[in-house]
């Protein structure tokens, strides 16, 4: 017998009929002779509804209490799924994150898993039960309930697969796999048969919503084999592992994009060694994530520093900068919203020079101005006008011939 961890997202358990479908998928895997651990999200839009209620009552809900509220969503799903499995004659038990032994750091709203004590789960598996675990949640060593951030159920599933030394982790969702880009925006998007951890991690960090970045990090660090699959269709999905043969020698494997990006420029900063670490450690201390960074000198003794952030972090970023102006010693702050980030990703870029140049040429031909650029060995990211985001993605998808992949790749 093997051990399989299955994760079902909110759309896959959105109502009673969909939960029945999950029951069938779980039993099907059980009949293959495998032990099963199932990780589930809250049903449908439950988390969004809980967040809305919290903000209807408070403009700034206490983070501890918000975590206490949001974790109730997954508890509904695990209990219903356990009941449905028992109704089919299958022994099952549901666990919250803390009952499953998931310990996190003491950060409410976006905690990281520190360790997993899997003895309870192993004991129930040995007794022949299917174990159902609430995703997205854990507990601190002091006993405070925490959440792992939106999409955190993916992380729960992969972390459990690593802790239990599972043979595989299947991520069931409302799409059939990982696509070359989001098929909701680009008709020519094609499903990939496989992709490497590094490529998937870049795509996840750059806006591809199919997997949570932390989940991919766990999978890479612990060698967990992942497959992104449809919870409805029975076809094979996209396998994510250390190395995967490049389909048709694709140099670029995927295009990710995200909107609601803002460029912030800190003007007239002292041109010293200490300036950069002081600015970005101050932002980090306030849990503000910064992406693309550009430094440009305007005067010998002064420099300008620009960086991109998610637009919903703008107000807090400006507040932190203003409150620390004396320490940071800058002249002014400027910002530009209404931007988007468009990125190409592919392991083949390492050995194929000229990929970035081609990207810039394609965007220029479409009349799309590039405002910021960031690169790594396997990706090039550009910041462009948000209104031109989809146009940029379509042009790049065609230019790198991703639409030529077989439809059922």
- Who's near 182: CB < 8 A, 6+ residues apart? 189, 208, 209, 257, 393
Contact between 154 and 208 under an 8 Å Cβ cutoff? The reply is no
Give 206 or 309, the one with higher predicted confidence.
Answer: 309
pLDDT in tens, 241-280: 887 665 556 789 999 999 999 999 999 998 888 889 999 9
What mean pLDDT comes out for the span 198-214? 88
Residue range(s) in the chain whose domain bears CATH number 3.40.1160.10? 3-174
Q: Lowest-pLDDT range, 80-94, 230-244, 352-366?
A: 230-244
| 8 A C-beta contact, residue 96 and residue 71 | yes
Query: Which pLDDT does position 409 carry in this prediction?
Result: 47
Q: Which residues neighbour 273 within 8 Å (Cβ) at sequence distance 6 or greater? A: none
Give CATH 3.30.2130.10 domain extents, the chain. Answer: 245-409
For helices 275-285 and 314-323, what crossing angle results, to 10°?
Answer: 120
Task: Return d(Cα 182, Cα 200) in angstroms, integer.
Answer: 14
Number of alpha carbons in the 13 Å side-chain half-sphere of residue 279 = 27
Task: Answer positive or negative: Cα dihedral of 232, 401, 363, 342.
Answer: positive
Q: Residue 10: its pLDDT value, please? A: 93
- Alpha carbon distance 266, 218 (integer Å): 35
Q: What is the pLDDT of residue 243?
A: 72
Q: What's the pLDDT tens digit per position in 280-330?
A: 999 999 989 999 999 986 567 889 999 999 999 999 999 999 999 999 999
Which whole number is the average pLDDT over 348-363? Answer: 92
Q: pLDDT tens across 67-118, in order?
A: 999 999 999 999 999 999 999 999 999 999 999 999 999 999 999 999 999 9
Residues β-bridged to residue 308: 263
Whole-number pLDDT of residue 29: 94
Rounded distance between C-alpha atoms, residue 355 and residue 284, angstroms: 32
Instruction: Give the mean pLDDT of 207-217.
Output: 87
| Topology given in CATH for the domain delimited by 245-409 | VC0802-like (3.30.2130)
Selected residue with higher pLDDT from 404 and 249: 404
Cα-trace Rg, the chain: 23
Are 95 and 120 a contacting pair, CB within 8 Å?
yes
Confidence bin at 154 (pLDDT 50/70/90): very high
- pLDDT tens digits, one per residue of 380-402: 999 999 999 999 999 999 999 99
Q: Is the pLDDT of residue 352 over 90?
A: no
Domain 3-174 coded CATH 3.40.1160.10: yes
> pTM of the entire structure?
0.85
Residue 111 dihedral angles phi and psi, to the nearest 5°: -75, 150
Instruction: Give percent above pLDDT 90 in the chain.
Output: 82
Q: Which residues pair with 92 in a beta bridge?
A: 130
For the chain, what is the mean pLDDT?
A: 93
Residue 6: band (very low, low, confident or very high) from pLDDT cuts 50, 70, 90: very high
Q: Please give the pLDDT value at position 2.
A: 93
Average pLDDT value for residue range 195-199: 92
List, in sequence order, every residue forming a beta bridge with 261; answer none if it has no partner: 310, 339
The phi, psi pair for 316, rounded to 5°, reads: -70, -40
């Amino acid at each position: 017998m093997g051990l399989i961890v299955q994760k079902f997202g909110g759309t896959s358990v959105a109502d009673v009929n969909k939960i029945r479908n999950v029951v069938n998928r779980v039993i099907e895997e059980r009949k293959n002779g495998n032990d099963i651990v199932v990780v589930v999200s809250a049903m449908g839009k439950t988390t969004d509804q809980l967040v809305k209620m919290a903000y209807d009552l408070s403009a700034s809900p206490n983070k501890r209490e918000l975590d206490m509220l949001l974790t109730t969503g997954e508890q509904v799903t695990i209990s219903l799924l356990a009941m449905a499995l028992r109704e089919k004659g299958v022994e099952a038990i549901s666990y919250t994150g803390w009952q499953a032994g998931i310990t996190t750091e003491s950060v409410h709203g976006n905690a990281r898993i520190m360790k997993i004590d899997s003895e309870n789960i192993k004991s129930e598996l040995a007794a022949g039960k299917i174990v159902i675990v609430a995703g997205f949640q854990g507990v601190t060593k002091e006993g405070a309930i925490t959440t792992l951030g939106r999409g955190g159920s993916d992380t729960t599933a992969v972390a459990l697969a690593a802790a239990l030394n599972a043979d595989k982790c299947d991520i069931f969702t409302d799409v059939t796999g990982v696509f070359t880009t989001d098929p909701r925006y680009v008709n020519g998007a094609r499903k990939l048969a496989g992709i490497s951890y590094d490529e998937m991690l870049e795509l996840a960090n750059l806006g591809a919503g199919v997997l949570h970045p932390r989940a991919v990090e766990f999978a890479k660090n612990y060698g967990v084999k992942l497959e992104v699959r449809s919870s409805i269709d029975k076809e094979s999905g996209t396998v994510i592992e250390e190395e995967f043969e490049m389909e048709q020698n694709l140099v670029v494997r995927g295009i990710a994009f995200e909107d609601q990006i803002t460029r912030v420029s800190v003007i007239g900063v002292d041109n010293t060694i200490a300036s950069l670490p002081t600015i970005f450690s101050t932002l980090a201390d306030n849990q503000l994530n910064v992406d693309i960074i550009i430094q440009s000198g305007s005067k010998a003794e002064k420099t300008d520093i620009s960086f991109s952030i998610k637009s919903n972090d703008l107000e807090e970023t400006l507040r932190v900068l203003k409150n620390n102006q004396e320490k940071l010693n800058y002249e002014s702050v400027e910002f530009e919203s209404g931007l988007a980030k468009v990125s190409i990703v592919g392991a083949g870029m390492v050995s194929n020079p000229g990929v970035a140049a081609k990207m810039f040429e394609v965007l220029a031909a479409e009349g799309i101005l590039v405002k910021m650029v960031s690169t790594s060995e396997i990706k090039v990211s550009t910041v462009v006008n948000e209104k031109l985001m989809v146009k940029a993605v379509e042009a790049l998808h065609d230019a790198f011939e991703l639409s030529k992949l077989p439809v059922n790749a």
